[in-house]
């Protein structure tokens, strides 16, 4: 999203897909995750610790997941949009070595610039939705 690409409420269509993005969860990305979130709980960077807790491997943390969903929405809204709410459920871990796709769709247009959306993260391993969510944004109007 650039400063000039401002989306207005009138531009939005119900059912419209958001341009999403994908990320490979390489070890470097996992290190970026710790740097970016400052979440040092070892389950997100220490494979031995994760396995003793019963997990297959280390997995991305809440800060990374919500950051992905937030980026999806702020890229789409433009600079004058306002993210009003975001909720999500972390149903399955996204593990080191996997790839994720961050996606969204416009659900409902409401008065006063409000737009409700479905957002989610898919896991590249089996295209399963690992993180379903919903969001509401306020977009500028032309009137």
User: Could you list the residues that contact another protein (CB under 8 A)?
Assistant: 1-3, 21, 23, 29, 32-33, 35-41, 43, 52-54, 61-64, 66-71, 74-75, 79, 82-90
Please give the Cα distance from 68 to 25 (Å, whole number): 13
- Closest approach of another protein to the CB of residue 126, in Å: 18
Q: Is 91 helix (H, G, I), strand (E, B) or coil?
A: coil
- Closest approach of another protein to the CB of residue 96, in Å: 15
Cβ closest to another protein, residue 13 vs residue 30: 30
Cβ closest to another protein, residue 4 vs residue 13: 4
Buried b or exposed e, range 91-111, using 16+ CB within 10 angstroms: eebbbbebebbbbbebbebee
Cβ closest to another protein, residue 15 vs residue 49: 49
């Amino acid at each position: 999203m650039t400063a000039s690409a401002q989306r207005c409420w009138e531009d939005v269509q119900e059912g419209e897909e958001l341009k999403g993005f994908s990320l490979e969860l390489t070890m470097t990305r996992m290190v970026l995750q710790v740097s970016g979130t400052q979440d040092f709980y070892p389950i997100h960077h220490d494979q031995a610790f994760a396995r003793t807790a019963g997990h297959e491997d280390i997995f991305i943390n809440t800060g990374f997941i919500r950051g992905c969903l937030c980026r999806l929405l702020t890229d789409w809204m433009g600079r004058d949009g306002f993210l009003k709410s975001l909720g999500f459920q972390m149903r399955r871990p996204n593990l080191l070595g996997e790839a994720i796709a961050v996606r969204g769709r416009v659900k409902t247009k409401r008065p006063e610039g409000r737009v409700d959306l479905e957002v989610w993260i898919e896991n590249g391993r089996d295209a399963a939705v690992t993180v379903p969510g919903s969001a509401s944004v306020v977009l500028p109007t032309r009137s």
